[in-house]
Amino acid sequence: MKNNTKLLFLLPIALLIIPVFAQETQEECIFTSHLEKSWIFFQERPWVTGSMINCDDGIQYHLKDTVYIRILDINGDLIGGGNADVSQVEVIHIRENQYFFYMPQIHSIDFEHRGIYQIELTYNNHTNTIWFAVLDPEKRWDEP
């Protein structure tokens, strides 16, 4: 009978401790972004690819698998003007946990020779930034 009394005493304590060990830990979000190359010539359309693993926590279903991009200059100002396609692009083609898209074509209307720019990629509440430079193929790299 004494063993049963000890067991009844330990049972409530065990019930409090077991959920702590049984609780599943949330894995950290891995959101990666890679640009085909960091020096881009006018008229090129480089590709961007990456992955998002464990980043869906709390995201609404209609936003799942949607990566948004913005192309900004070195000061963080949105690129626009003559080529409206570069102001904001929504990535449409995505496979599970991976995305791939072509950037809008780089034009001299929106980009400067030797200019430094950034691509801001957002998935759910996670953001990555990729930096790149633009070159005019008609000029030498060190030419203004």
Contact 48, 100 (CB under 8 A): yes
How buried is 134 (Cβ within 10 angstroms: 0-12 exposed, 13-18 middle, 19+ buried)?
A: buried
Chain centre distance of CA 120: 8
| Model pLDDT, residue 118 | 94
In angstroms, what CA-CA distances link 135 with 23, 76, 88, 94, 96? Answer: 53, 19, 22, 29, 34
In angstroms, what CA-CA distances link 37 with 19, 49, 72, 94, 99? Answer: 49, 11, 17, 21, 17
Q: How many beta carbons lie within 10 A of that of residue 98, not counting itself?
A: 13
What radius of gyration do the chain's Cα atoms show?
25
Amino acid at position 25, single letter: T
Chain centre distance of CA 87: 17
63-120 per-position pLDDT tens digit: 677 788 889 999 999 887 555 455 555 666 677 788 888 888 888 888 999 999 999 9
Name the β-bridge partners of 47.
102
Q: State the pTM of this model.
A: 0.71
Proportion of the chain above pLDDT 90, given as a percent: 35
Q: How far apart are CA 103 and CA 44, in angstroms?
A: 9
| Model pLDDT, residue 22 | 47
Please compute the mean of the pLDDT values over residues 19-36 and round it to a whole number: 75
